[in-house]
Structures are given as C-alpha cells and as structure tokens.
C-alpha cells in the first residue's frame, strides 16, 4: 500500500474526529473521507449527465415556458403527483 504524508492540519483534523468518539482509528477517519470523496465524484458525474441531458432537451426543443413562477410550481406539483401513479401502473403491468 502507498504511504501518505499528512500535514499538521490533516493530523489535527483526524485527532479532532477521533476525540468525538465517532471514529475508532485514523484509518476509519480516512476511509470516511474517501467514501465522501467517492460520493461527491459520483454526484458530480450524475449532475454533468443531467446537465447534458437538459442541454440536449433544449437543442431538441423539448422545453416549456412559464408566464410566472406560480405556473411553474403548479406544473412541478402536477408532475410530482403523476410520478407515483406512473410507478403503480408500471408495477401492475409487470405482474407485481
């Protein structure tokens, strides 16, 4: 395994985390940090994918325009209400 060099600030951070009692070892703190970094990178990739999808929608003309924020909110609420209904219908159609 690769050895790493920590700054004094890094060491102090790890020690502070250990004092909270949440982590049992420095390795646990580092593992938690790596899991957090992995989640952040995954979230960033998903966000970039969604932005790309949105840009594709704009290029293809799949957009809606709203006269006011309340019109947008009404549409969002309607779409949110339709989602559970669509899931129930899909479940019925799949034999569940």
Centroid of chain to Cα 33: 16
* pLDDT of the chain, 96 residues: tens digit per residue: 789 999 999 999 999 999 999 999 999 999 999 999 999 999 999 999 999 999 999 999 999 999 999 999 999 999 999 987 777 777 777 655
Task: Check residue 47 and give its pLDDT.
Answer: 98
Task: Check residue 9 and give its pLDDT.
Answer: 98
User: For residue 33, which of 54, 53, 59, 4 has the smallest C-alpha distance?
Assistant: 4
Per-domain boundaries in the chain = 1-63, 67-96
Task: Check residue 67 and give its pLDDT.
Answer: 97
Place of tokens 């982590």: 23
First to last CA, the chain: 48
Task: Check residue 90 and give its pLDDT.
Answer: 79
Distance CA 65, CA 53 (A): 18
Distance CA 78, CA 32 (A): 39
Tell me how crowded residue 8 is: count the other CB atoms within 10 A of its CB. Answer: 7
**CA distance readout (Å), 96 to 82, 84, 91:** 19, 15, 5
């Amino acid at each position: 395994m690769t050895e790493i060099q920590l700054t004094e600030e890094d060491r102090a951070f790890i020690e502070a985390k250990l004092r909270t009692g949440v982590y049992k070892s420095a390795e646990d703190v580092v593992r938690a940090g790596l899991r957090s970094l992995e989640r952040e990178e995954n979230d960033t990739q998903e966000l970039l994918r969604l932005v790309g999808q949105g840009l594709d929608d704009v290029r293809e003309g799949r957009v809606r325009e709203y006269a006011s924020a309340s019109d947008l909110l009404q549409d969002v609420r309607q779409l949110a209400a339709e989602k559970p209904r669509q899931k129930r219908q899909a479940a019925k159609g799949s034999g569940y």
